Amino acid sequence: MNVALRDPRIDRPAQAHLGFIDCDVHPYFRTPADFDPFLSQRWREHRQSIGGRPRQGLAKTSLYPRMSPGNGMRGDAWPKNGGPPGSDLGLIREQLLDLFDVRYGLLAPLVGGAAAERNVEFGAAMAVAVNDWQCAAFCDPEPRLKASVQITLEHEESALAEIERRAGDARFAQVNIPPRGLEPLGRHRYRKILAACAANGFPISLHLGGTSGHASTGGGWPSFYHEEHPSYVQSMQTLVISLVCEGVLDEIPDLKVVMVEGGFAWLPSLAWRLDKHWKRLKAEVPGLKRAPSEVIREHFWVTTQPIEEPERPEDMLRIIEWIGPERVMFSTDYPHWDQDDPRYAFKVQLPEEWARLIYRENARALYRLD
Amino acid sequence: MAKHVVATVAEIPPGGRKIVTVRGREIGVFNLGGAFHALINRCPHQGAALCTGAIVSRLEAPVPGEYRLTRPDTMIRCPWHCWEFDIATGQSWCEPDDVKARTYNVSVEPGEALAKGPFTAETVPVSVEQDYVVVEV
């Protein structure tokens, strides 16, 4: 065993996680040609001869390369038969689904470039292709994995068509929307898309990161990945503020918003500030009829990874208590370098009822699984 | 505590490592410039296979912009969250006061001495002509 001088850390094997629902699993392609069977000849030739035009420089790599090989992959998740982590269903089963008896895994494909494509028609074609690819490569052979509908937020017509096309298909659990769009998500230009998600029974999932072309912070480009990683929280805060202040959540009462990988300890303090201003600035946003904290508690869900590790582990319980244990869902982020192991992620013992909700029941209810 | 023969010296050259299982636990045995060290193959943070990570140097900056690459090739970087540990002592660079990876005593013994016992040869056949790496567990 390991020697832990202050905290018991991981010498506390728990069972509460078994049969959990993983709200963040990343599938990868072996080669970009994996998408070709799902593209028309027109877009297949475009992909092969022209390729993606994302809203950032350095199109072939991250703006902030990471120290783990594969640009931020878990070191032991490389398949022996080649290809990147997340591309081999056998290894996903071995290291995640079977190891922990995972009930369901929600796929978050950060591939294909649809979200940030400047050529929005190509982006729309890639979104459809990635959706078909998720089914063919992962969800059909492994029904525990649930796909997320990819759309191009800047091409409303195709986004609406794709949401409607996948509605009612039990392989799709939610719609992925980039948390860093060209404009804050509450702006009118995105309203029809959000309404279509709600009308078709899809929660929207906002996975941290992405490349909007804007700096990741509110005040310019950082120097290090170490800075960039936490600065993405600002984009999460922006979308919470925007959806609340624009009155979107009263206009679309069925909209359910899942913030993935953005942390959550910041959510209470943000709500406190919003509540404080709401009392004073009501005249500017008369559409905001309820306290922001009330709207947030009703419409937002958060996933756990990368788990907050407060110096006093028991502080975690107070934070979850504020957010509501019925709004927190466990996620691993497999196969990324900063993924969490369900046995050891929480550095504090969760009350049994909370563990049941966080590891399973919240996701089961939200995504109507089983 | 018993001594276990886990490898021949030639099997783990300088810079090399071997992961062995002794009494049900996985242990990484490292050769750092001729000196052998053994570390549990389990990161105290979240349980990853610590000893399969990259062997790196310790990079220090007394002030921003002034870099010192100290202790070349003596740290193991966890393949998951990049926590780094001193291979010789198991001390964590992330949380040196709180967290430590378990270390084991290692020695090099001539085959002649091993043949007399009382050592447990795990899966390594011992011959008197060679030197062996022995871990105490």
pLDDT in tens, A296-327: 999 999 999 999 999 999 999 999 999 999 99
Query: What pLDDT, on the 0 to 100 scale, is given for residue B97?
Result: 84
Query: What pLDDT, on the 0 to 100 scale, is given for residue A4?
Result: 47
Segment among A217-221, A340-344, B96-100 with least mean pLDDT = B96-100
Q: Domain of residue B118: give its range.
A: 9-135
Q: Is the ipTM of this complex over 0.90?
A: no
Which of B49, B98, B102 lies nearest to residue A76, judging by beta carbons?
B49
Confidence bin at B7 (pLDDT 50/70/90): very high
pLDDT higher than threshold 90 for residue A192: yes
- Return d(Cα B29, Cα B17) in angstroms, integer: 5
- Return d(Cα A219, Cα A204) in angstroms, integer: 27
Query: What pLDDT, on the 0 to 100 scale, is given for residue B123?
Result: 64
Segment among A69-83, B86-100, B112-126 with least mean pLDDT = B112-126
Q: What's the pTM?
A: 0.89
Average pLDDT of the residues in A140-166? 97
Residue B27 resides in a domain: yes
Query: How close, in Å, is residue A1 to chain B by CA atoms?
Result: 7
Give me chain A's average pLDDT, please: 92
Query: What pLDDT, on the 0 to 100 scale, is given for residue A213?
Result: 85
How many residue pairs bridge chain A and chain B with CB atoms within 8 Å of each other? 64
pLDDT higher than threshold 90 for residue B71: no
- Return d(Cα A168, Cα A315) in angstroms, integer: 41
Could you give the number of structural domains in chain B? 1
Residue B108 resides in a domain: yes
CATH number at residue B55: 2.102.10.10
Query: What pLDDT, on the 0 to 100 scale, is given for residue A339?
Result: 93
pLDDT in tens, A258-302: 999 999 999 999 999 999 999 899 889 988 889 999 999 999 999
Q: Does the distance separating the beta carbons of A2 and B98 come in below 8 Å?
A: no
Confidence bin at B5 (pLDDT 50/70/90): very high
pLDDT higher than threshold 70 for residue A1: no
CB A145 within 8 A of CB A107: yes
pLDDT in tens, A18-52: 789 999 999 999 999 999 999 999 999 999 999 99
Query: What pLDDT, on the 0 to 100 scale, is given for residue A93?
Result: 98
Give me chain B's average pLDDT, please: 90
Residue B29 resides in a domain: yes
The residue count for chain A: 370
Which residues of B are less than 8 Å from A76 in CB distance? Answer: 48-49, 52, 79-80
Which residues of B are less than 8 Å from A72 in CB distance? Answer: none
Residue B35 resides in a domain: yes
Please tell me whether residue B92 adopts helix, strand or coil conformation. strand
Query: What pLDDT, on the 0 to 100 scale, is given for residue B17?
Result: 97
- The continuous run of DSSP H or E covering A243 comes out as helix A225-245
If you measure CA to CA, which chain A residue comes closest to B91? A3
Q: CA–CA distance from A305 to each of A135, A262, A334, B110 (Å)?
A: 25, 8, 10, 50
Average pLDDT of the residues in A197-226? 92
Range B34-46 burial, b when 16+ CB lie within 10 A, else e: eebbbbbbbbbbb
Residue B66 resides in a domain: yes
Residue keyed to tokens 């009462």: A253
Q: Residue A111: name the closest of A209, A177, A41, A26 by CA.
A: A26
pLDDT higher than threshold 80 for residue A183: yes
Average pLDDT of the residues in A113-119? 92
Query: What pLDDT, on the 0 to 100 scale, is given for residue A5?
Result: 46
Residue B40 resides in a domain: yes
Please tell me whether residue B49 adopts helix, strand or coil conformation. coil
pLDDT in tens, B28-69: 999 999 999 999 999 999 899 999 999 999 888 999 889 998
Which of A3, A10, A337 lies nearest to residue B82, judging by beta carbons?
A337
Residue B4 resides in a domain: no
Confidence bin at A64 (pLDDT 50/70/90): confident
CA dihedral B77, B79, B81, B85 (to 10 degrees): -20
Residue B128 resides in a domain: yes
